[in-house]
Amino acid sequence: MHAARLRRGEDIARVRADGIARNDKLFSLRALSNDQATVRVAVTASRAVGGAVQRNRVRRRVREAVRVALGARRAPLTGADLVLIVRPAALDARPADLRGSVERQLDAVLR
Tens of each residue's pLDDT in the chain, 111 residues: 456 889 899 999 999 999 999 999 999 999 999 888 888 999 999 999 999 999 999 999 999 999 998 888 776 667 889 999 999 999 999 999 999 999 999 888 887
CB within 8 A of 74, min separation 6: which ones?
A: none
All structural domains of the chain, each given as residue ranges with its CATH number in brackets, are 3-109 (3.30.230.10)
Nearest to 63 by CA among 81, 42, 47, 77: 42
Whole-number Å distance between alpha carbons of 56 and 71:
22
The pTM assigned to this predicted structure is: 0.88
pLDDT for 1: 46
Alpha-carbon 16 to chain mean position:
12
Nearest to 31 by CA among 39, 19, 43, 41: 19
Number of H helices, E strands in the chain: 3, 5
